[in-house]
Amino acid sequence: MADQAQDRARARYKKILFLTWFLTLDLIMFGAFVRLTDSGLGCPDWPGCYGNVTPVGAMTEIRQAVSVMPEGPVTLPKAWIEMVHRYVGALLGFLIICICWMAWRHRKAFKQTPTLAIVALIAVCLQGAFGAWTVTHQLMPVVVTGHLLGGMMLLALMTWLAARERAHLPVAISMRRFTVWMGLGLGLLFLQIGLGGWVSTNYAALACMDFPTCHGQWLPEMDISSGYSFIRGLGEMPNGEMISQPALTAIHWIHRNFAFVVFVYLGILAWRLRGDPGLRGPATLMLILLLAQLLTGLTTIFFQWPLLIAVLHNGGAAGLVLASVTLLVRLDRAGSTALPT
């Protein structure tokens, strides 16, 4: 009877875990939609909307804001987009609390430390704080980029938790030598995601409209110091003036060119890892996503940043995090007993 109860608890834990993992991925995609539709200030206070639980109770304030600025940051559709994002974030936090509680309660039966679940709980609390700061600091680029990176880190933690529960073919112990290389690859990927977030939060996606050159030059005029000055408001230079074209060009150009470094590094590594049956699935996924990222990145330039493609580009980055963490977990298991698929 005790074994049956443990099995039921483990089954419930896995269901909640995979649901939370899926919701985290969805929330990252929806967060990109919020950012790209300029809905981040759809409700300019936090956690409610003008002190109300839903935009319905804030109709008077929203109408007043629209009458002053019809195309401004506050409209009814943008308010709903922003609040739905907050609702889903709150649900995600509740589910992670459940995971943390179950991991602690059944730590002996699961034969796993609850430390990783506790770290995920801390991470989702920090994400909530960054969500509030995003609004209170008026979409300050460094805060919004930090919010994006925090979401990707939370996805990495949830993927790690989920990957521990999923069976796969055994990985040869000789593949452990790639663990450090995969860890470095994940670090490069997060750096590139940060650079991409900086492009998005500074609205620099269209700073270079040609490819492979930028403004017809391989090395265009750039203001790197102003472009990568972190303590400044949205659309501003460090001195408070409107951000210059050379600063936007620097932001775009660095993200674009570092993408090739990440593409080559992860592409070669994934190709090598495909040789092991236990790693073939996530390694193949990584190769597919790298090609998709290249395609959506170029499409963003040539078709002037269509919303769907931009959201898919963000989702592709999340998918690469997913594949990278899965590979790291499996490399750590290299040499273990074969697991049923």
Tell me which of 119, 149, 166 is where a domain ends: 166
Confidence grade of residue 1 (pLDDT, cut at 50, 70, 90): low
Q: At what angle do helices 2-36 and 141-165 cross, to 10 degrees?
A: 150
51 & 142 share domain: yes
CA 317, 320, 325, 328 torsion-angle sign:
negative
pLDDT at 283: 97
Residue 45's alpha-carbon distances to 86, 116, 128, 139, in angstroms, are 12, 32, 14, 12
Which two three-digit tokens encode residue 296? 């959506």
Confidence grade of residue 36 (pLDDT, cut at 50, 70, 90): confident
Choice among 220-224, 231-235, 258-262 with the minimum mean pLDDT: 231-235
- Calculate ∠ Cα 256-260-263, nearest 5°: 125
31 & 58 share domain: yes
Single-letter code of the amino acid located at 97: I
CA nearest 176: which of 76, 279, 267, 89?
Answer: 279
Torsion of Cα atoms, 320 then 326 then 330 then 333, to 10°: 140
The string of pLDDT tens digits covering residues 279-300 is 999 999 999 999 999 999 888 7
Mean pLDDT to the nearest integer, 2-21 = 85
Tokens 């649901």 — which residue? 19
pLDDT of 340 over the 70 cut:
no
Mean pLDDT to the nearest integer, 314-331 = 96
140 & 233 share domain: no
134 & 194 share domain: no
> Among residues of the chain, what percentage have pLDDT more than 70?
97
The string of pLDDT tens digits covering residues 16-29 is 999 999 999 999 99
Instruction: State the catalytic residue, choosing from 61, 71, 82, 241.
Output: 82
Single-letter code of the amino acid located at 266: L
Examine the residue annotation and report whether 236 is marked as an active-site residue of this protein. Answer: no
User: Burial of 259 by CB count in 10 Å (0-12 exposed, 13-18 middle, 19+ buried)?
Assistant: middle
Torsion of Cα atoms, 217 then 220 then 188 then 95, to 10°: -110
**Cα separation, 135 vs 79, whole angstroms:** 12
**Domain assignment of residue 227, given as a range:** 171-341
152 & 178 share domain: no
**Cα separation, 117 vs 69, whole angstroms:** 44
User: Burial of 9 by CB count in 10 Å (0-12 exposed, 13-18 middle, 19+ buried)?
Assistant: middle
Tell me which of 105, 138, 166 is where a domain ends: 166
**Cα separation, 176 vs 120, whole angstroms:** 26
Tell me which of 165 and 1 has the higher pLDDT.
165
- Helix (H) or strand (E) holding 181, with range, is helix 179-201
Tell me which of 15 and 6 has the higher pLDDT.
15
Choice among 65-74, 171-180, 268-277 with the minimum mean pLDDT: 65-74
219 & 315 share domain: yes
332 & 200 share domain: yes
Cβ count within 10 A of residue 276: 19
Name the region of 325 (left: φ>0; alpha: ψ -120 to 50; beta: rest): alpha
Confidence grade of residue 341 (pLDDT, cut at 50, 70, 90): very low
213 & 272 share domain: yes
**Cα separation, 38 vs 73, whole angstroms:** 7
Query: How many Cα atoms sit within 13 Å of 300 on the Cβ side?
Result: 27
pLDDT of 338 over the 50 cut:
no
Tokens 């919004």 — which residue? 144
119 & 203 share domain: no
81 & 141 share domain: yes
127 & 211 share domain: no
47 & 127 share domain: yes
Tell me which of 150, 166, 182 is where a domain ends: 166
Mean pLDDT to the nearest integer, 24-53 = 91
pLDDT at 120: 95
What's the number of domains the chain is made of?
2
Strand partners, 296: none
The string of pLDDT tens digits covering residues 74-105 is 999 999 999 999 999 999 999 999 999 999 98
Mean pLDDT to the nearest integer, 31-50 = 90
Which two three-digit tokens encode residue 195? 């650079």
